[in-house]
A and B are shown apart, each in its own frame.
Chain A
Amino acid sequence: MNATGIPLKEPEISAVAGDTEQLERAYIDASTRVPVLMFYTSAIAWLILGTLLAGFVSWKLHSPDLLSDISFLTWGRVRPAHMNVMVYGWASMAGMGTAIWLMARLCRTVLRFPLLLVAGACFWNLGVLLGVGGILLGDSTGYQWLEFPGYAAIILFVAYTLVASWAVLMFRYRRGDQIYITQWYLLGAFLWFPWLYAAGQLMLFVVPVQGVLQSAVGWWYANNLLFLWFGAIALGTAYYMIPKVIGRPVYSYHLATIGFWSYALFSSWTGMQRLIDGPFPAWMITASIAATILTMIPVATVGLNHHMTMQGYFPLMRYSPTLRFTVFGAMSYTVFSVVGVLISLRSVARYVSFTQASIAYSHLGLYAFFTMVIFGSMYYIVPRLVGREWRYASLIKLHFWASAYGVGLMTLMLLAGGFLQGADMQNPTLAFNVSIETALPYLRGRSLAGILLTVSHFIFAYHFGLMLLGLGRTSTVPTFLNPVEAEASGGH
C-alpha cells in the first residue's frame, strides 16, 4: 500500500467519480444507522449514569457521611460501579459504535448482518446492567477492572463474540485491497479484546493462578484494556478523522507503520508498571517500566504523524467540532503517555504509587485521550446517521470547554494531590492521616472538576437526544463552531 492509494482524499478530482463515491458513502452510512445508533444511545445512557455515580464517589471522598447508611451506596461499592459503568458501559459501547461505523466505511461495503450487532448491543447492555447491579449488591469479585461477577462476564463475552464475528465477516466482504491504518488498529482491537478478556477471566476465575500472580494478571489485563482496546480504537479513529476532516492524506505511512507495531509491542508489556516495588520478581516490574519508557516511540511517531498532517490546518479547529475534539484527544495521548512514564520511574513511583496520582493517570487515558476522540467521532458520525446536523454550535462549544477544563482540572488536582499525599506518606515522622488530610483540598477540587464534566455530559446527552428525535438542523452544511469565513471550510 502506498500513500497515493489512501481512500481518504476528498474525491474532488473527478466530479463524476466524486458523485458516485458520495452516493456510495451515504448508502453505507445509512446501512449502519440502527446498530451504531443503538451502541451510541446505550453508551450515552451509561455515560450519564456513570457521571452521576462519579460525582457521588468524588463527593463521598470528602463528605463520607453522605448516605453511608445504605449498603449499596457505600463508597466501596459505588466506586467500582462507577468505574465499570464507564469502562464497559460508556467507553466500550461508544468505542464499538465508532469502530463499527469506521469498519463499514473502510471496508467500503454496506453493513451486513446488522442483527449480529443489534443482538450484541442488547447482550452487552444486559451484561453491564447485571454486572453493575451485582457490584452494588455485594457480588464484586474484588479484582480491579474485573469486578463484574461471573454471570455478567459470560454475557459480556457472548455479546462481544457477536460483535467480533461481525467484524471478521465484514472484513471478508471488504472492497479493495487497501487496508487503511485505521483498520489495523480496529482489527487489532477487535482481536485483542477477546483474548485479553478470556485470558483474564480464565486465569483469575476458572483456573486461578496462585497468589500474587493474580494481581499481575489483573493489572496486565487492565493496562492492556486501556492500551490495546480503548487506545487502539481511539488512535484508529484519530487516524481516520483528522485526515478526513481536513481533506488531506496522512503525512507518512512509514511513520504510521512504525507507530502501530511499536504500540502493539510495547504498550502490551506495561501492565506491571502499576505494581512497582510489589512482591514480584524484579524482572517483571523492570520489564514493564522499560516497556512504558519505550512507548515513547509510538507516541513520538503517532504524534509527529498527526502533527505533520495537521500542519497548516490547525486553524480549522476553530470551526470543526470533530477536529477540535479529536486533536485534543490526540494531544492528550502524548500527555497520558508522558505521565505514564513519569509515574513509572522507580524514584517517582516511590511517592505516587498508592496515591491519587494513579487515578489521574487512568482518567488521562480513558477520558482526556479516549473519550475526547470518541466525542469527536460522534460529532462526525451522528449527523450522517440521522440525516440532520447538530442543532446548536453553542452547545458543542460548551461541551468541549466544559470537558476540556473539567478533565484538565481533574488531572491537575489528582496529580498534585497525589504527589503531596505521597510525599507525606513517605515521611514517617508524620502520622498517616496527615497524608490523607493533605490530599483533601485537592479531592474537593476534583469534585469541582467533576461538576464541569457533569455539565458537559448532560449538555452532550441533551444535544444527542435532539438529534435522535430528528430535531437537528436540516441543512447540507455541517454545524461549525464559529461562522465560517470564505473557503475556510473543509470540516465536513
Chain B
Amino acid sequence: MKGLVPLFLGIFGTFAFSWLGLTVVPNWQIGHLNPQSDEEGTDIYPQPQSGMFERGARVYAANGCIYCHSQQVRADYAADDIERKWGNRRSAPRDYIFEQTVFLGKMRMGQDIANIGARAPAEQASPSPAGAAAPATSPSRGTSPAVSPTSQGRAPTAASPAPKQTPSPSPAAQPGSPAPAASPAAPGGSPAASPASESFSCSATRLAGTGRFSRSTGRIAGGVSGFAWAKRCDESCSSWSSCGGITGSGSNSKCESCCFTKPGSWCAMASSNRWRATDVLRGVASCASLFAAQHQHRFEHAVLSFPL
C-alpha cells in the first residue's frame, strides 16, 4: 500500500459497493411494490393494515417473538414448509408491503406463523399428533370491524372480533401433550365447572391469547416463556371475564386471577409450560390485534409475482 489516499478510497469503495449492491439496488428493484388486483379490479391484495395490526406488531417486537418464530414460507423445491402446511405457496415480497416492521425471523423453535391466522382453525379440526392444536380458537364467524373480510370463505374465521368465553379442552387433556407442570391441579377448590386449570382464549381485538389458567396457583400456562402483551380495552371489560392473565401496568405486572377490573391496565398471556409457544401464539395470532387477519387473505391469494 503506497499511501493513505488509496487506502481511504479502497475502504470507502468496497463498502459503497456492498451498500449499493445489497440495499440500494434491491430497493430500486422491489422497494416500491403496489398491491395487486385481479382482472375486475375488485380483489385487491394485499390490503392496508388496520391500526390494531400495528399494535400487534409492537407486541410481537417488544416480546421477542421473532427469536422463536419465523414468518416466511420457503418454496417447495427448497424446503418442506409447504408440505408442513405452513402455507400454500412460498412467501413473496409483495406479501409484506404494508408491514411497518417485517418479522421474517431466523429461528424456528416454534412453528412458522406466516399464515397462522388461516391455519389455526383448520388444525384445530384435526389435532396434530403432538397435541399442538390451539385449545380455544374455535372460530366464531362474525364480522370484524378491525378486519375487512375478503370474499374468501375462510378468511374471517380466526379473526373473530367477538369475545369468546367458550372454554375448550385444555391442551393438557390432549394426548401427547406434556403435563402442565406449571399449573398443578388444585384439590377441588375451583369455582369453575372446569377442573383446576381452565383454558381460555381471548380474541377480542385488544388482546390475544389462549392458554390455561390455573386457579390454584394463579398462573397461566400454555407456551414457552415470553409473551404477548397488549393493552386491554377499557370499554368492554365484561368480555374478559373468562380470560386469565397477567395484569399490572407495564413491566411491573403480576399475575392476577380471571377478570380484569382496572381499565387501561395491561393484559398478557403468559406462558410457562414446555414447548407450547405455538399454542399461545396461535391463539394470539388468531386475534385481530395481531397479524392474523391480514395473513389470511395473504394466504388465500395465490397471485404471485415478483422478479427473480
Contact = CB atoms under 8 A, between A and B. Distances in A.
Interface in A418-451: 425-428, 431-437, 439
Contacts of A188: 11
Contact of B18 (A213, A216, A268): A268
Nearest to A178: B1
A104 to B, nearest CB: 18
A432 B65 contact: no
Given A64-B273, A277-B78, A187 B227 contact: no
Looking at B23, B268, B307, the one whose CB has the most chain A CB atoms below 10 A away is: B23
A158 B33 CA distance: 35
Interface string A43-83: 00000000000000000110011101111101111011000
Interface string B83-124: 110000011111111111111111111010000000000000
A211 interface: yes
Contacts of B108: 354-355, 425, 435
Contacts of A283: 308
B272 A65 contact: yes
A214 B101 contact: yes
A196 B16 CA distance: 10
Contacts, number: 255
A65 B18 CA distance: 44
A142 B101 contact: yes
B84 A277 contact: no
Interface string B1-33: 111100110111011011101110011011111
A209 B19 CA distance: 14
Interface stretch (B68-76, B144-152, B154-162, B204-212): B68-76
A353 interface: yes
Contacts of B253: 70-71
Nearest to B32: A210
Main secondary structure of the interface of B (DSSP, over half): loop
Interface residues of B, number: 93
A210 B272 contact: no
A271 interface: yes
Given A69-B255, A75-B224, A212 B104 contact: yes
Looking at B63, B90, B250, B255, the one whose CB has the most chain A CB atoms below 10 A away is: B63
Given A71-B268, A350-B79, A436-B275, A213 B250 contact: no
A142 B72 contact: no
Looking at A142, A215, A358, the one whose CB has the most chain B CB atoms below 10 A away is: A142
A64 B1 contact: no
B295 interface: no
Interface in B170-216: 181-182
B191 to A, nearest CB: 22
B80 interface: yes
Given A80-B67, A432-B84, A208 B100 contact: yes
Given A77-B226, A191-B11, A431-B128, A140 B254 contact: no
A251 interface: no
Given A350-B78, A431-B128, A139 B31 contact: no
A416 B63 CA distance: 28
Interface in B251-273: 251, 253-255, 268, 270-273
Given A209-B27, A432-B132, 9 more contacts: A61-B109, A75-B67, A75-B225, A179-B1, A195-B15, A199-B19, A210-B30, A216-B23, A284-B22
5 contacts: A79-B64, A138-B63, A141-B101, A142-B103, A434-B130
